[in-house]
Amino acid sequence: MAYPADFLLDRLLYRDGLMLVIDKPAGLPVHAGPSSRQGGGDNLENYFDALRFGLPRIPALAHRLDRDTSGCLVLGRHPKALRKLGKLFSDGRIEKSYWAITAGVPEKLSGAVDAPLKKTQCGSGWRVEIAADGDEEGQEARTTYRVLAQHDGRAFIEAKPKTGRTHQVRVHLESIGAPIIGDPQYGDLPENMRRQPMMLHARRVIVPISKNKEPVVVEAPPPEAMAALLAEMGAKF
């Protein structure tokens, strides 16, 4: 799907002199993967030129979201801002909240998943797995969660990753019996749930960007498919 060159202007959630927060659409990679570098695919960075707002440089990614994840994505507007945001992310001072709809309800309706993660080869690609005890390749990963609503074997979950590992929320929720509907990689989902858009949305970011001001709080509305499923579940959002 090709987007208009300036389509991100309509998805801009926040702007100041240091950063932007945009509402990333699901299905669009944030940057060029191997196929994109060979001219085989679109990516979000192709549209950043419309977000200069008078600055000489285009903004750049301060973090990443998976291709099929929607919602709040933070961009730095210049190198100094990117360094500051990078430090905030690496120090765990930026709070990220995700909404997920899962095929299954966790036994505990709230809690934390402390399980180290590692990347492993899978055919010609890779996937993320929970590392065994003592596996030196495992990286510390922690996610807190709570079930906001449940209906007919599905759960509406708010998840907060305390670390920033690749596919962290997806793998951690699957590990407690709550794979995300539409996830193409994790969880033994029925065919009808596998064909749906992935129900994972970066709902909120809280960024303490300025020492002398309150943290910036930004929320992204759920995409249409998620909103429809939440309504079907009778969830309030």
**Residues 158, 34: Cα–Cα separation, whole Å:** 32
**Residues 106, 164: Cα–Cα separation, whole Å:** 22
The residue written with tokens 């950063």 in the block is: 19
**Residues 145, 101: Cα–Cα separation, whole Å:** 12
Q: Please give the single-letter amino acid code of residue 60.
A: A
In the structure encoding, which two tokens stand for residue 157, read together? 């979950």
**Residues 157, 159: Cα–Cα separation, whole Å:** 6
Residues 6+ apart with CB under 8 A from 210: none
Q: What is the dihedral of CA 42, 43, 44, 47, to 10 degrees?
A: -40
Q: Is 66 a catalytic residue?
A: yes
**98: phi > 0 → left, psi -120 to 50 → alpha, else beta; which?**
beta
Residues 6+ apart with CB under 8 A from 193: 103, 181, 182
Give me the numbers of helices (H) and strands (E) for the chain, helices first please.
5, 12
Q: Which of 6, 23, 49, 66 is catalytic?
A: 66
**Residues 140, 45: Cα–Cα separation, whole Å:** 29
Catalytic residue IDs: 66
